Amino acid sequence: MTVFLGLPTAPRGVGNLRGDQPFPDAARTALRDGQLRANLGHATSTIRAKRAAVVGEVPDWAQLRAAGAALKRATMARLDEHLLALEEQVTARGGTVHWARDANEANEIVTRLVRATGSDEVVKVKSMATQEIGLNEALEAAGIAAHETDLAELIVQLGHDKPSHILVPAIHKNRAEIREIFLREMPAVDPELTDEPRQLAMAARAHLRERFLRARVAISGANFAVAKTGTLAVVESEGNGRMCLTLPETLITVMGIEKLVPTWRDLEVFLQLLPRSSTGERMNPYTSLWAGVTPGDGPQEFHLVLLDNGRTATLADEIGREALHCIRCSACLNVCPVYERTGGHAYGSVYPGPIGAVLSPQLTGVEDNASLPYASSLCGACYEVCPVAIDIPSILVHLRAEHVEAQERTTVEALGFRWLAKAMSNPRLWHAAQKAAGLGRFLARGKPTMPAALPPPASKWTRTRDLPTPPKETFTQAWLREHGG
Ligand code: SF4
């Protein structure tokens, strides 16, 4: 007899997928920060407008989006075969492939590889996968310094802060705050530094240049990997990625197993969808592609670490698996009314916003991120903008149901809904309930919403929601009046 114990999720105590507080508590703190809300409002509205303009000029955007969604679906259906093909191709071209079941294994592999080079520092290309597994912390514990080279990641690292957006990790900081961080943390910075963007960029450039030139090891993520040719792809805007991917002797890439595309032609679709959806550019300035090792050109040692960390468990869920189609463009964050107000830290995971609300709970197991599927108004804006048409609202509802079903004791909310279901399926009960609700009009005294919150335990519901005054006429009464019975 065989017993199926389930698929492993991302382990606890390592990485950055779980917050210290549930979302509502963290969100309450974030909402009190006026500066944060101003920074976020300004940044997200600017990116939203840029995206809308460049997407609007592509006549076949809808077809491109459908192609992206179909490709992701087809790839996931045969992920095992594509992964083996990728391994074969990378190995044939002089690279080494490592399989990491979870964050602990991935961190151990990378630490061992860096140690083997004799180096005690690395330069890093911005990578969500390495943030997910807490690689910087693991390297630091092993005495290896990891230098972030993406400007926003550098700001976050120097500020001893955490990223709050997939694409713009320092979106919660404004120019004045960045200037303060640079003055405090960069040893050789000009004390006359202003908060003018060009000056800030030049200061970061000088700070990083020296690190690029001396680093012997680089660590990157990957936006895509082409299974058929073993080609890895990193798209970026600043050129820091190109420096890391070409200058050091050793390159280590940590990639989630879902980042695969089967062929080069498939890559063409995503290279059109990604920049317009993420930075609002027609094309990203730097696209670096490499396959294995080329003698005398670029890194002479290449390691690819393929990371699971809960992805296989996610793939096993027929509805939830769509979250693995994400190409991390962050368009859903920028349109989300919840994200725009709370910012990314409230989600407690490196994946914030709508995609984080469906991806993090699946990677960790819903019980470890149970509040995240509720961090949404279900308005559907995230689905509208997603370049690979991930139906985030449906996954949110699915995960909420999973969480409710896993509850061992019956909550007041569940009892309320049970009663509501009973009333709605019995006309006499329903009419009686409507009559009783009509009493609320006396309390409202002509106001559109009830003046007082409901008493406990229903106060939990009305604490953050207006309770509308019941209308004079029900829908059925209005229908009968208009159309007769
Ligand atoms: S879910 Fe869609 S919109 Fe959101 S980051 Fe992923 S690809 Fe972009």
Which value, in Å, is the radius of gyration of the alpha carbons in the chain? 25
Residues in CB range of 124: below 8 A, 6 or more apart: 130, 136, 146, 147, 148, 149, 153, 218, 219, 220, 244
Query: Measured in angstroms, how far is the CA atom of residue 383 from the centroid of ligand 1?
Result: 8
Query: Measured in angstroms, how far is the CA atom of residue 338 from the centroid of ligand 1?
Result: 15
Ligand 1 atom at minimum distance from 323 CA: 1
* In the chain, where the domains are located: 76-311, 427-483
Residues in CB range of 169: below 8 A, 6 or more apart: 126, 150, 152, 153, 155, 156, 163
The answer to whether the CB of 223 falls within 8 A of the CB of 274 is: yes
Q: Which of 332, 336, 385 to mutate to test the pocket of ligand 1 (most atoms within 8 A of CB)?
A: 332
Please tell me the number of Cα atoms within 13 Å of 197 on its side-chain side.
4
Residues in CB range of 359: below 8 A, 6 or more apart: 314, 323, 326, 351
Q: pLDDT tens string for the chain (485 positions)? A: 667 667 899 999 999 999 999 999 999 999 999 998 999 999 999 999 999 999 999 999 999 999 999 999 999 999 999 999 999 999 999 999 999 999 999 999 999 999 999 999 999 999 999 999 999 999 999 999 999 999 999 999 999 999 999 988 999 999 999 999 999 999 889 999 999 999 999 999 999 999 999 999 999 999 999 999 999 999 999 999 999 999 999 999 999 999 999 999 999 999 999 999 999 999 999 999 999 999 999 999 999 999 999 999 999 999 999 999 999 999 999 999 999 999 999 999 999 999 999 999 999 999 999 999 999 999 999 999 999 999 999 999 999 999 998 888 888 878 888 899 999 999 999 989 888 888 888 888 888 887 666 778 777 777 778 888 888 888 888 999 999 86
Ligand 1 atom at minimum distance from 331 CA: 3
Of all protein residues, whose CA lies closest to atom 6 belonging to ligand 1? Answer: 326
- The alpha-helical segments, DSSP class H, found in 365-391 are 381-385
Q: DSSP letter at 453?
A: P
Query: Measured in angstroms, how far is the CA atom of residue 428 from the centroid of ligand 1?
Result: 46
Ligand 1 atom at minimum distance from 330 CA: 5
Of all protein residues, whose CA lies closest to atom 4 belonging to ligand 1? Answer: 332
Domain 76-311: give its CATH code.
3.40.50.10420
CA distance 214 to 230: 28
Instruction: Record the tokens describing residue 8, joined without a space.
Output: 């492993």
Query: Measured in angstroms, how far is the CA atom of residue 114 from the centroid of ligand 1?
Result: 32
Ligand 1 atom at minimum distance from 329 CA: 8
Instruction: Record the tokens describing residue 429, joined without a space.
Output: 């009960």
Q: How is the beta sheet containing 224-226 ordered, strand by strand?
A: 260-261, 224-226, 231-236, 286-290
Q: DSSP letter at 470?
A: P
Angle formed by the axes of helices 264-278 and 34-56, to 10°? 130
Ligand 1 atom at minimum distance from 166 CA: 5
Query: Measured in angstroms, how far is the CA atom of residue 44 from the centroid of ligand 1?
Result: 15
Ligand 1 atom at minimum distance from 355 CA: 1
Given this model, what pLDDT does residue 5 score?
67
The verdict on pTM exceeding 0.75 is yes
Burial of 369 (C-beta count, 10 Å sphere; 0-12/13-18/19+):
buried
Query: Measured in angstroms, how far is the CA atom of residue 329 from the centroid of ligand 1?
Result: 5
User: Which protein residues touch ligand 1 with a CB less than 6 Å away?
Assistant: 277, 326-332, 355, 385-388, 390
Given this model, what pLDDT does residue 449 score?
85
Q: Give, rounded to a whole angstrom, the gap between the first and last alpha carbons of the chain.
A: 63
> What secondary structure does DSSP assign to 92-139, as a single string?
HTT-EEEEESSHHHHHHHHHHHHHHHT-SEEEE---HHHHHTTHHHHH
